[in-house]
Structures are given as structure tokens and as C-alpha cells.
Amino acid sequence: MKKRLLSGIKPSGTMHLGNYFGAIKQFVDMQNDYDSFVFIADLHSITTVHNKDELSKNIINIALDYLACGLDPEKVCLFKQSDVAEVTELTWYFNCLTTVPYLERATAYKDAKAKGKEVNVGVFDYPILMAADILIYDSEVVPVGQDQKQHVEYARDTAQKFNSTFGETFKIPEALIMKEVAVVPGTDGKKMSKSYKNTIPLFGTDEEIKKAVMKIVTDSKGTDEPKDPETCNIFKLHKLFLNKEELATLSDRYTKGGMSYKESKEMLLSEILDLIKPMREKRENYSEDLDNVRAILKNGANKAKVIALGKMNIIRNNVGVKI
């Protein structure tokens, strides 16, 4: 029996290299070995996206990105979170077990508060909707980047709390975080993130990708000077693309001097473009038939819904609302 894998991405902007290496690549690499469920977390994105056209465009874009990156709808159940409304019912049961101080410890909420933002209830309750996403499908493995670790811990705690209150109901999921790509750095060396405006878009035009790569922050060492690869933001990104020997050769060129940061950036640009060339073509093909993409999501939702309904039957019974 294959283990069940589940993960999702929010349609709240354009997919970047951090999402690809930190998440989607894992989903693709694991799709043969796991009973995989990958979804578009549209309900989560409504915590920030409040524009109908923007949201529906983002949802289609993420579906295209998933397919272009190599998720095979024959192997992976691909669906939209909001198509399985049971997840919001489960969120309510979890809400009634969750205390306010416990949610006040969530990093994302604390960060938003610290920035003086007026936080909506959706942001506050975000980890609980995510716990429902994970637990309703009896997921065992949740591949994510480091920034989602705390959220998976909330799901584990919530499962344990529910089990001890209402009786054994949920499996306890594990986060799967690949060390080398746990935090993909952005053009300024901080975690790549839409909110830091330091992203390299996965499916941007050549010009957009070039602009982002040329923006990578370096020190001011001239071409001839020896450079330290380990502190160089460009080198950190080369690590995503090059194998051990190629990295060793590049590292040598850095330490010997004679290689400019510009040359290193140009190399990185061609590594990125080589990676995405076949994915771009696939994306073009899928985008010519959006009805097919919608049908893939609908199929996935039908499959996910059957599992969610079966689980909700048990949950409703255990909570006591089923008479």
C-alpha cells in the first residue's frame, strides 16, 4: 500500500523558483511512489486576494503550472480546495477545540500583527483550515518548504487533541522537508517570497527572468578578485541546478578569481531557461484547452470528495451531530 501524500499551493500570485524547488518538484518526483493529492489552496488565498478576476486567473494559472511542471493527472489527484466544502465544516469542529492563545503563537499571525496590520479572522484561523486540509484525507506525508513546518505541527496537534477528545479518528501526518531546498533564497539572499519582492518567476518571459537574475545582490568585488562561493547569493541558486562536479568547478573559478558576478548571473540565467523550456511548451499546450484543465480539476475534486465525505461521516458520528 502506498502512503498518502498531500500538499497545496496558494493561488495568491505568480509561481516562483522557491515554490518549484521547495514544493512542486517534490510532488513530481514522488508521484509514482505515493498516493498523491495535490490541490490549489484557493480558500487560503482569500485571506489576501479580494478580487474575483484576479483570483480566478490565479487559480487557472496554478493549475497550468502544476501540469507544466510534470504533475500527471493520471497519477495525482489534482483539485481545487473549495470544491470539497467539507473541509470548511471540519475547520469548524477544529475551531471549537482550538484556543485563542494557541493560535496567537502562529508565526504568520504574529508577523502580521507586528507589522501593525489589521488581521482578518481568516488569517488568524489559517492554520486550522490547513489542519482540516491535511487531516480530512488521512494524509501521512506532507511535502512543504521550511516556512510551512509550524502549520504541519498545528495539524498534528489538532489531530491529537481531536483524538483524545472524541476518540481515535485521525492519522498523525509528517512534514517532509528536503534540507537542501527547505529555504530557497531570493535575489537579496533572504527567503524567496512574494512579500519580500525578491522572487524569480518560474514562468516569466525571458526578459522578466533576466531582470530578476540581474538584480541578485552581490558584494562589489571586481572580475579578477577571488570570491567566496558560500556567501554568494548567485552561487546559492546555482546549487539548485548544478551537480556536485559542476559546482566544484564553479567553486574553483570563484576562489581563483577571474570570473565576474555578471558571468555567474548569465550562467544562472541559462540554467533557469534550460529547465523551463520544456515546461513552457507543456504549459502552452495545456493553455490552449482550458476546458480540459477544468475537467482535470473536476475529476480530481470528485475523487477527493468521496474520501472527504467518507471521513466526515466518521467525524460527524464521533462529534455527536449524527443522530
Residue numbers of the site for ligand TYM (CB under 6 A)? 6-10, 18-19, 22-23, 41, 44, 130, 133-134, 142, 144-145, 147-148, 151, 181, 183-184, 191-193
Q: Which is nearer to ligand TYM, 187 or 227 (CB)?
A: 187
Minimum distance, C-beta of residue 239 to ligand TYM, in the bound complex (Å): 13
Using CA atoms, how far apart are residues 269 and 273, in angstroms rounded to an integer? 6
Minimum distance, C-beta of residue 18 to ligand TYM, in the bound complex (Å): 3
The full DSSP string for 85-100 is THHHHHHHHHHTT--H
Q: Looking at beta carbons, which residue is closest to ligand TYM? A: 22
Closest CA to 87 of 312, 318, 306: 312
Q: Which is nearer to ligand TYM, 25 or 227 (CB)?
A: 25
Q: Which is nearer to ligand TYM, 6 or 106 (CB)?
A: 6
Minimum distance, C-beta of residue 81 to ligand TYM, in the bound complex (Å): 7
H-state helical runs in 197-289: 206-214, 233-238, 244-256, 261-287
Using CA atoms, how far apart are residues 129 and 241, in angstroms rounded to an integer? 34
Closest CA to 28 of 67, 60, 61: 67
Q: Which amino acid is at 144?
A: V
Burial class (CB in 10 A: 0-12, 13-18, 19+), 266: middle
Q: Which is nearer to ligand TYM, 194 or 221 (CB)?
A: 194
Q: Which is nearer to ligand TYM, 187 or 193 (CB)?
A: 193
Minimum distance, C-beta of residue 93 to ligand TYM, in the bound complex (Å): 17
Q: Which amino acid is at 210?
A: K
Minimum distance, C-beta of residue 277 to ligand TYM, in the bound complex (Å): 22
Q: Which is nearer to ligand TYM, 142 or 242 (CB)?
A: 142
Minimum distance, C-beta of residue 185 to ligand TYM, in the bound complex (Å): 7
The full DSSP string for 60-113 is HHHHHHHHHTT--TTTEEEEEGGG-THHHHHHHHHHTT--HHHHHT-HHHHHHH
Q: Which is nearer to ligand TYM, 181 or 319 (CB)?
A: 181
Minimum distance, C-beta of residue 88 to ligand TYM, in the bound complex (Å): 13
Give Cβ neighbours of residue 125 (< 8 Å, ≥ 6 apart). Answer: 91, 95, 103
Using CA atoms, how far apart are residues 254 and 277, in angstroms rounded to an integer? 28
